[in-house]
A and B are shown apart, each in its own frame.
Chain A
Amino acid sequence: GQQLNQSPQSMFIQEGEDVSMNCTSSSIFNTWLWYKQEPGEGPVLLIALYKAGELTSNGRLTAQFGITRKDSFLNISASIPSDVGIYFCAGLHNFGNEKLTFGTGTRLTIIP
Chain B
Amino acid sequence: GAVVSQHPSRVICKSGTSVKIECRSLDFQATTMFWYRQFPKKSLMLMATSNEGSKATYEQGVEKDKFLINHASLTLSTLTVTSAHPEDSSFYICSALQGNSNQPQHFGDGTRLSIL
A binding-site residues for B, Cβ under 8 Å: 1, 3, 31, 33, 35, 40-45, 48, 88, 92, 95, 97, 99-100, 102-105, 107
Chain B residue numbers with a CB within 8 Å of A41 are: 109-110
Is B43 in contact with A45, judged by CB distance below 8 angstroms? no
Q: Which of B19-50 contact A (CB under 8 A)?
A: 31-32, 34, 41-46, 49
Contact count A vs B, C-beta below 8 Å: 56
With beta carbons under 8 angstroms apart, the residue of B49, B104, B109, B112 that contacts A33 is B104
Is A42 in contact with B60, judged by CB distance below 8 angstroms? no
B39–chain A nearest beta-carbon distance, Å = 12
Chain B residue numbers with a CB within 8 Å of A31 are: 104
Is B59 in contact with A102, judged by CB distance below 8 angstroms? no
Question: Which B residue's beta carbon lies closest to that of A44?
Answer: B107
What is the bound-complex CA distance between A97 and B100, given in angstroms? 10
Tell me if B81 is interfacial: C-beta within 8 Å of chain A: no
| Contact A95/B108 with A43-B44, A102-B43, A104-B43 known, Cβ cut-off 8 Å | no
Most buried by A among B43, B44, B97, B106: B43
The interface size bin for chain B is 20 to 34
Is A1 in contact with B104, judged by CB distance below 8 angstroms? no
Q: Which of B39-98 contact A (CB under 8 A)?
A: 41-46, 49, 51, 59-60, 91, 93, 95, 97
| Contact A105/B43 with A42-B6, A42-B110 known, Cβ cut-off 8 Å | yes
CB-defined A-B contacts under 8 Å, sample of 12 = A31-B104, A40-B112, A41-B109, A41-B110, A42-B4, A42-B93, A43-B107, A48-B104, A88-B43, A97-B32, A100-B104, A100-B105
Chain B residue numbers with a CB within 8 Å of A102 are: 43-45
Chain A residue numbers with a CB within 8 Å of B112 are: 40
Chain A residue numbers with a CB within 8 Å of B4 are: 42
Is B46 in contact with A99, judged by CB distance below 8 angstroms? yes
